[in-house]
Structure 1
Amino acid sequence: MMNSKLILGTVQFGVNYGINNNAGQVTQTEVNRILEYAAENGIEKLDTSSAYGNSEEALGNSNLINCKKIAVISKYPRCSKSPRECLNDSLKKLGVNSLYGYLIHHFDFYQEKPDIWTEIEQLKSEGLIQNIGFSLYTPEQLEYLVNNKVKFDIIQLPYNMFDRQFESYFPKLKELGVEIHTRSVFLQGLFFKAFDAFPEKLMPMRKYVEKLQNYCKEQNINIANLAVAYSISKQAIDGVLMGVDNCNQLQSNIECANYNLSLEDIAFVDSIEVKEKELLNPVNWK
């Protein structure tokens, strides 16, 4: 059972999110069901941010985080408040005294105001946060941290069947004792996109999606199983972050996490090499 590697993403609890999300923001009743089911099925961590609308309030309103012993990771976004003010707000909304992890959400904001990292280190020293780190988008951002000898405990980054740009850094991160969390396992639903529904901007990605969908059809494999199990199978990855719109989706994600990959499956995914690197970042899809 690989459920302990799954991290419950909660962005949908506060805002509408995802290229294929037609359900809208998750209701409080469904949030409660999801948290109950997650805890019952071995999921130990959840990920949120004060930038995710009222996600933190929805989690706090459930009153389930403490009693189910779910570790919370939140993030400090680009904002006018100090890290301490923002963290205190998050703790209050979540109904907890401390966080398992607190990440800088927007790397460019950190580069503009590097002193915020010193403040976050101070909050860790006071016991308000167990682990501190960064949410990244590009390998260049990671290189900046490593080159400047910034010490962090957790790194969150995109990783999926198409986007494996950070993989070469995994050994170094493990050597430094960093906990690696990955997100975007389905590349915001792109793997499932119907060919006739591709936006013009994403047309260069269609050939890769077609190759993936054809392989799964030939092998009688569910694309979701392949996508999740591939990330879960990476020994260096400590957590695979997945957001959900409802409890049934969480159940499906857990089933995917426990799918047994073949060596042929892994070799196939490894053979996919996306040349249009800029389209691996959904920010560039608009």
Structure 2
Amino acid sequence: MLMNNFKNSKYDISKFGLGTVQFGLDYGFTKRKTQEEVNSILKTAVDNDITLIDTAREYGDSEEKIGNFIENYKNNFVIATKISLIDDFDNLTYKTLKNNIYASVEESLEKLKLNKIPILQLHQTVDEIYKNIDFWTVINQLKEDKLIDLFGVSVYEISETKFIMNNYTGYIDFFQIPYNIFDRRFDDIQCDLEYNHIGLISRSTFLKGIIPCSICNVPENLKDIKPFKLELSSLADELNVSVAELASAFVYYNNYINSTILGVDSPKELDDNIKIIEKFDKNEFESIDFDKFKINNDYLIDPRKWNDF
């Protein structure tokens, strides 16, 4: 497992991170995991040198189950969690923001059985929050109080990412972005992110399942994605791998993505995802021209815009 030092911090994070929404909630076709199932998946993560564990206050009892594991099993996990969702946007004063955010962090610390949260994230990129200087003042205070080390924002759009980077560079350590073999929008600001020493964690490796699904299962409203899928399938056949394996390796070997979050249903699925990388020769893989798979149609690469999917 490739590792890298994250944001010039003390943390070494793995190129694959583990998503944990399914630990605490039913998620799509995946049923909520028991503590025993969570322990088994996390043991497999330890055995395969996966260090980044991504969770959230909103993921049911995911934090509590992770905390139970941390308390009882040796690990080198770097835990990333998220601030509880803020519902009332009409009264976002410094006081209300501080009360809400500190309460969320303190509850996460209790559930995770930690003294400090290595990585805290904002999961709500709404103007009322990320354009509010009081919000960033609270984040800075969390760092000064040694309750968190690093802070990041989960984003969808280049515009919001640029705004935060240009206005709050001193507060932000990384962005979590949608990124995959078709969705390459964030390539355009790679240099700016590197210049500002801002890290990247990616999600949406399979674009909500559209990348690895068969052509016949592509919805009619996404028919324009079929030529890209056919060409990608042809490359996968040439390399003697599956499309899903190729999509995973693409983000894994990306030089400016620090880590990619993968959600799994079982220890075997996690183990299989890790073994995918063994199928590729790194030098040969990096010589492939992937630019022809880049899709510039925002509708096709943003699941929020899909209708009746």
Q: Same fold (TM over 0.5)?
A: yes
Q: Which structure has the larger Rg over C-alpha atoms?
A: 2
Q: Is the 8 A contact 2:51 2:76 kept in 1?
A: yes
Instruction: Report what 1:16 is aligned to.
Output: 26
Of the structure 1 ranges 194-203 and 58-67, higher mean CA displacement relative to structure 2 is found in 58-67
Residue of structure 2 equivalent to 1:147 = 166
Deviation, 1:16, is: 3.4
SS at match of 2:290: helix
The structure-2 alpha-carbon separation of the partners of 1:26 and 1:201, relative to structure 1 and needing over 3 Å to count, comes to farther
- Structure 2 match to 1:276: 297
Cα distance in 1, alignment partners of residues 186 and 154 from structure 2 = 13
Structure 2, gaps ≥5 residues long: 4-13, 88-98
Could you report, residue by residue, the CA deviation over 1:48-99 in whole angstroms, capped at 9, with x for unpaired residues? Answer: 1112232212212334587312110111143256111111111111121111
Question: Partner residue of 1:103?
Answer: 121
More relative contact order, 1 or 2 (CA 8 Å, 6+ apart): 1
Deviations 1:146-174 (A, max 9, x none): 23243211211111100110012222212
Residue pair 2:71, 2:113 contacting (<8 A) in 1 also:
no
Q: 1:249 and 1:14 mapped to 2: Cα distance?
A: 18
Give 1:269 shift: 2.4
Structure 1's 179 and 112: CA in aligned 2 closer, same or farther, altered over 3 A? closer
Amino acid at match of 2:201: H
The answer (yes or no) to whether the contact 2:118–2:149 under 8 Å persists in 1 is yes
2:199 counterpart of 1:192: no
* Residues 230-269 of structure 1: per-residue CA shift (max 9 Å, x gap): 1122222211111111111111111123432464775342
CA distance in 2, matches of 1:75, 1:224: 28
- Partner Cα distance (2:138, 2:195) in 1: 26
User: Would the aligned equivalents of 2:20 and 2:53 in 1 still touch at CA under 8 Å?
Assistant: yes
Instruction: Determine whether 1:219 maps to 2:218.
Output: no
Query: What's the Cα RMSD here?
Result: 2.3
| Correspondence 1:18-97 to 2 at 5 A | 22-63=29-70, 67-80=74-87, 82-97=100-115
Q: Distance in 1 between matches of 2:74 and 2:301?
A: 38
Whole-angstrom distance in 2 between the partners of 1:150 and 1:264: 34
Residues 49, 55 of structure 1: 8 Å contact kept = yes
Per-residue deviation at 1:196? 2.5
Instruction: Kindly indicate whether residue 143 of structure 2 is the aligned counterpart of residue 136 of structure 1.
Output: no
Consecutive unaligned residues of structure 1, counting only runs of 5 or more, are none
- The answer as to 2:133 corresponding to 1:123 is no
Instruction: Count the aligned residue pairs.
Output: 283
Tell me by how many angstroms 1:114 deviates.
Answer: 4.3
Superposed displacement of residue 25, structure 1: 2.5
What is the CA–CA distance in structure 2 between the aligned matches of 1:285 and 1:65, rounded to whole Å?
43
**How far did residue 35 of structure 1 move?**
0.6
2:184·2:295 contact (CA, 8 Å) conserved in 1?
no
Letter in structure 1 aligned against 2:157: T
The answer to whether the 8 Å contact 2:181/2:294 transfers is no
CA contact (8 A) 1:2 1:257 kept: no
TM-score by length of 1: 0.89
Aligned residue in 2 for 1:285: 306
CA distance in 1, matches of 2:125, 2:106: 21
> Please, what TM-score do these two structures have when normalized by structure 2?
0.83
Verify the 8 A CA contact 1:82 1:116 in the aligned structure 2: no
Aligned to 2:9: none
